[in-house]
């Protein structure tokens, strides 16, 4: 099933991540030549591909066929590595493939949530109890004007858009110690936030009117919320999630604040340990509140910044087809930072640059506020 053009069927995610290893890591002919067409996502250098918006119409191969395909490719990759002859370039491609698959683990759950939300009976993906978010004490942290270094130096795995590390001027600012909560968003709604055009960017207001937005995605008119646990009562302390950039920007303006730039965001969190700052409560399927012991805690919601997604100074895509991984998307999108409640643990780091178009809401986008001094 495919619930909208931006989403993909679960079967497709499983097949595409397998195709990635088969295409970029393994030598020789593909398991099935038709898969090269069906499961290529956007790699122009590799060949033609099936249109994204109709992936849900592909009933063959079956899910069982895809699992069998996955098993064959996994076995071949392991056998290749067991030979002990892989050079650094091949090992880098294997590592990229693993992290690419982790990205698709998050995308798969995003897409599954959107699909289940279309069912009028609100089925759950998991049945574990929903944790109650703790109340955060709030407050702000002040940063003086400074020349700072941001970006990842690549001592561990990074995606190419996280570097190179470079210097940037940061004016003095304050940033909130916690992400905006559902309770705060309820105040925005009650104050006519979705009905006041002066709060919105022109394209954002047009989207609100066209899509008839009156609340965040997955909020229901009766005050309940739908997530992978199914339908349940809205938790006021939970970070608000599944917002577009337009909504985040409008809320910031309503609050008399703004969204932080990605430079400010990374500077604010750059000294924290992402593993320690990450908030989890036993599983990855629901957002939890920020921890008072951390500066806002990462890992609850992806946080929109005011920064357009573009290349860092000195950025060069890697050579070959995998160079299409990030660089060619550096237009018309905005950067999110931190990590959401569906994000694999290893991808929650302060230099990770997620990016989406400003009208999208099915990812776990939230926000925290900032203002200039």
Q: Model confidence over 123-170: pLDDT tens digits?
A: 999 887 777 777 777 788 899 999 999 999 878 889 999 999 999 999
What pLDDT is recorded for position 94? 96
Positions of CATH 3.90.1580.10 in the chain: 140-372
pTM to 2 decimals? 0.92
What pLDDT is recorded for position 281? 31
Class of domain 140-372: alpha beta
Parallel, antiparallel, or unpaired for β 302-308 and 334-337? antiparallel
- Number of other residues whose CB lies within 10 A of the CB of residue 53: 13
Report, as ranges of residue numbers, the positions in the chain whose pLDDT lies below 50. 272-296
What pLDDT is recorded for position 131? 72
What pLDDT is recorded for position 299? 61
Q: Which residues contact 261 (CB under 8 A, 6 or more apart)?
A: 305, 306, 307
What pLDDT is recorded for position 289? 34
What pLDDT is recorded for position 290? 34
């Amino acid at each position: 099933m495919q619930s909208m053009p931006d989403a993909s069927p679960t079967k497709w995610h499983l097949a595409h991540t397998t195709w990635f290893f088969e295409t970029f890591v393994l030598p020789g002919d593909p398991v099935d030549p038709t898969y090269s067409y069906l499961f290529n996502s956007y790699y122009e250098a590799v060949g033609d591909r099936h249109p994204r918006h109709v992936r849900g119409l592909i009933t063959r191969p079956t899910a069982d066929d895809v699992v069998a395909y996955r098993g064959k490719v996994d076995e071949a990759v392991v056998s290749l590595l067991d030979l002990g002859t892989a050079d650094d370039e091949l090992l880098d491609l294997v590592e990229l493939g693993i992290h690419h698959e982790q990205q698709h683990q998050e995308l798969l759950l995003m897409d599954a949530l959107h699909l289940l939300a279309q069912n009028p009976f609100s089925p759950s993906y998991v049945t574990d109890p929903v944790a109650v978010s703790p109340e955060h004490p709030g407050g702000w942290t002040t940063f003086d004007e400074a020349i700072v270094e941001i970006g990842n130096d690549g001592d561990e795995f990074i995606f190419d858009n996280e570097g190179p590390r470079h210097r940037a001027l940061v004016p003095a600012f304050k940033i909130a110690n916690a992400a905006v909560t559902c309770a705060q968003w309820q105040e925005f709604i009650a104050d006519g936030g979705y009905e006041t055009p002066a709060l919105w960017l022109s394209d954002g207001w047009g989207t609100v009117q066209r899509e008839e937005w009156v609340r965040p995605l997955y909020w229901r008119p009766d005050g309940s919320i739908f997530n992978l646990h199914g339908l349940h009562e809205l938790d006021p302390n939970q970070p608000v999630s599944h917002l577009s950039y337009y909504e985040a920007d409008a809320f910031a303006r309503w609050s008399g604040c703004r969204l932080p730039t990605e430079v400010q965001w990374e500077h604010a969190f750059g000294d924290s340990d992402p593993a320690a700052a990450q908030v989890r409560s036993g599983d990855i399927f629901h957002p939890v509140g920020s921890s008072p012991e951390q500066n806002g805690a990462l890992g609850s919601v992806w946080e929109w910044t005011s920064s357009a997604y573009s290349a860092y100074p000195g950025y060069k895509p890697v050579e070959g087809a995998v160079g299409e991984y990030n660089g060619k998307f550096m237009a018309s999108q905005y950067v999110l930072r931190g990590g959401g409640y569906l994000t694999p643990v290893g991808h929650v780091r302060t230099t990770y640059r997620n990016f989406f178009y400003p009208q999208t809401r099915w990812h776990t986008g939230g926000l925290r506020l900032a203002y200039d001094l």
